[in-house]
Each structure stands twice: as C-alpha cells, then as structure tokens.
C-alpha cells in the first residue's frame, strides 16, 4: 500500500483526530514474509517495493524473523543505534555475496510500520490502529534489536504536525532526525489495500534542497516524450586546471510542464555542440546556456561522477531563463550540504561502488 503526496489544500478537508503519524525514514520499503516449510522450519523472504526478492542480500535479518507473519517496514542500516544514510544502505543492496565482514560493517535493521499477517491470520481488513497494536506485540515477541517499531509522532493539530515535520529532533526523532524524510499520515480506520488509494495514507516530505545548475547534456525521452529531448544532465561550477568548469551532479526528466519541455527541446536543438550517440552536448559556458533550479532530497558520494557527488531524486523546479550560467551554484555549496548531512548522522562517508535507484 502506497501513499499520496499531500498538498496544503488537502489539510482543509482532513480532521487531525482521524489520523496517526509516523516518521518517514531514509531507507527502502520492504515486506518481510515468514512462513513455515514442510519440515516445520521458519523461512523468511524480504521483498522490495517492486516485488524483488532481496533476501540473499540480508541474511542477518532473515535469521531473526522467525515468527510467522508479514511485516511492512523500512529497511535501514544502524550503526551505534543510529540510522545511516541511504548511501550507506546501498553497500548492502544488489550484492551477489554477503560476507560476515560486510554484515558487521553494515548491520541491517527493520523498522516496522505495519503488520499484514499474524501467524496465519490475515489482518489487512482490520483498521490501522488495531494492526498497529498487534504489530507492537509481534515486535516485542521477536525480542531482537535488529527489528523495532517505528515511533509515532505526537500531534493534536495540523499546526503541531507542521512544527514536528520542520524539527524532527525536537519532536521525538532525537539523534536520528537527519534520517527523517518527512512524516506519514495514516487514517486510524484504514485497511491495508493494494495500490495507492487516495485518502487513506498521505506522505508529507520535508522541504527539498535547492540549487541552480547548468544544463550540459540531453537525450530523448521514452513513450510520448520520445520525440523530445527530455532527459537532462546538469552540473555546477568548480575550479579546474584552467579555470572554472562545470561538473555533472545529477540527471532529471521531470518537474516541468509540456510547454516548458517544448522550449527546452528547442534550446537543445539550437545549441547542440557535440553528439555522442543518442546524447547531445549543449552549450554550457559562463555567459551562454540554460540554468535549471533543481530540487532534490539528498546527496551522496559517487565514484561515477567527476564531481564526486550525486543528487537523490532530483527534479527541475524552475527554468531560469533570466540567469546567466556563471551565476549557477558551485560544487563547494553541495559539499557543505553533504558535510552537514554526514555530520548530523555522525557517520563515516561511504563510497558508492554502484549507484542504484529506489522508489518511494
């Protein structure tokens, strides 16, 4: 079951007394399904949001989930009791072999949101608040520090929840506040149903980070956008051997209207300087080029970008036709953002061997 993004206008039609709130954590949604085989042995499978079986990457979690049932939760990495960044979690994803050393360095953790099946009893038709009570008892019986209950966010009014979202540390998230992406709102009486039904669950993410970046490369999109150059790679300035130069920090293909798409496509076609197969390099000089205001939800170290950084979930929030490229942001600005994130988590920055894309 997935949530709709909430808008400011939605709050006018919603009663806060009908909802419960949880923190939205910086991991990946999973369902942990434990059953019993023909020999009476508990068998656990971990499934990603897309239905992929990722159990082999997390045997340390599978070994503690020995109580039959199905938990919906967030897969995280905890070190010293603190939630780490998604960048750190990536060190455990898509691994063909998971060594004891890797498990020790990147200890997996399941933060439980919901209980869909308890033993053989299907709970999905029961109200969320009842499933939550059953979930608490289920987690307590597991009695393992690698699985815990996602804490509720106390609030009585939308104003109180707004304040909690703005300052998770003061609202109970404590040392893990930097790992909070926002809040989840769930109707107390909501059943657990497939898909993304509107009105039962809402997600309200924290305000994104924003920088101005310069369009560097473009390529055609897919489907109805296959006739347009709609996938854009953009960069920020840094000091190079012969002066300032642009280095890529992200790629986005949404956040603009159809009319804006047509204008960007026209710019790409009229300002192409090189072609590399399906990719066009476009003019990106100090006084000539196109500046994007880019909104994104995080930063991580990357060995695949010359900048050493990559944005998470970037989108184009505004076209800055009014701004010359020389006034776009610098790599040092992003470095400072990342340093604040890493310092807030108290972690050692991890190095990406292979970047992955996650949903939700």
Rounded distance, CA 245 to CA 325, Å?
Answer: 11
Choosing from 24, 56, 251, 336, the catalytic residue is 24
Q: Assign residue 307 a region (left: φ > 0; alpha: ψ between -120 and 50; beta: otherwise).
A: alpha
Nearest alpha carbon to residue 309 among 296, 319, 318, 320: 296
Strands 4-5 and 201-205: parallel
- Side by side, which strands form the sheet with 4-5? 4-5, 201-205, 180-187, 19-25
DSSP assignment of 104-118 equals HHS-EEEEEEEEEEE
- Residues facing 220 on adjacent strands: 229
Sign of CA dihedral 16, 115, 25, 235: negative
Spatial separation of the C-alpha atoms in residues 251 and 247, rounded to whole Å: 12
In 3D space, the residue among 360, 46, 2, 6 whose CA is nearest the CA of residue 190 turns out to be: 2
Q: Which residues lie across from 24 on neighbouring strands?
A: 182
3-state secondary structure of 226: coil
* C-alpha span between 21 and 155 (Å, rounded): 8
Question: Which of 263, 266, 189, 269 lies closest to 18 in space, CA to CA?
Answer: 189
Dist. CA 27–CA 1, nearest whole Å: 16
Judge contact between 347 and 88, C-beta under 8 A.
yes
DSSP state of 287: T
Whether 251 is catalytic is no
Query: Which residues participate in catalysis according to the annotation?
Result: 24
């Amino acid at each position: 079951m997935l949530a709709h993004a909430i808008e400011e206008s939605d709050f006018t039609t919603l009663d806060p007394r009908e909802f419960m709130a949880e923190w939205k954590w910086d991991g990946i949604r999973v369902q942990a399904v434990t059953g019993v085989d023909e020999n009476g042995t508990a068998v656990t499978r971990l499934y990603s949001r897309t239905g992929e079986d990722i159990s082999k990457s997390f045997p340390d979690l599978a070994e503690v989930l020995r109580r039959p049932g199905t938990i919906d939760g967030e897969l995280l990495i905890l070190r010293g009791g603190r939630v780490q960044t998604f960048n750190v979690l990536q060190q455990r994803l898509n691994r063909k072999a998971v060594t004891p050393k890797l498990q020790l360095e990147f200890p997996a953790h399941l933060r439980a949101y919901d209980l869909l099946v308890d033993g053989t009893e299907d709970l999905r038709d029961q109200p969320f608040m009842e499933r939550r009570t059953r979930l608490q008892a289920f987690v307590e019986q597991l009695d393992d520090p690698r699985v815990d209950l996602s804490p509720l966010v106390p609030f009585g009014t939308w104003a109180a929840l707004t304040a909690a979202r703005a300052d998770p540390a003061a609202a109970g998230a404590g040392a893990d506040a930097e790992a909070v992406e926002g809040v989840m709102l769930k109707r107390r009486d909501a059943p657990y149903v497939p898909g993304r039904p509107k009105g039962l669950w809402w997600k309200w993410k924290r305000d994104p980070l924003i920088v101005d970046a310069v369009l560097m490369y473009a390529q055609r999109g897919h489907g109805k956008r296959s006739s347009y150059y709609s996938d854009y790679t953009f960069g920020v300035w840094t000091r190079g051997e012969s002066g300032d130069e642009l280095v890529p920090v992200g790629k986005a293909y949404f956040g603009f209207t159809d009319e804006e798409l047509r204008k960007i496509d026209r710019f790409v076609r009229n300002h192409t300087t090189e072609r590399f197969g399906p990719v066009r390099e476009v003019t990106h000089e100090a006084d000539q080029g196109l500046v994007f205001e880019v909104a994104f939800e995080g930063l991580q170290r990357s060995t695949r970008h010359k900048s050493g950084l990559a944005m998470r979930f970037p989108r184009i929030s505004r076209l800055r036709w009014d701004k010359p490229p020389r006034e776009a942001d610098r790599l040092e600005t992003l470095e400072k953002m990342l340093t604040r994130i890493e310092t807030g988590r108290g972690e050692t920055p991890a190095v990406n061997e292979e970047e992955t894309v996650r949903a939700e």
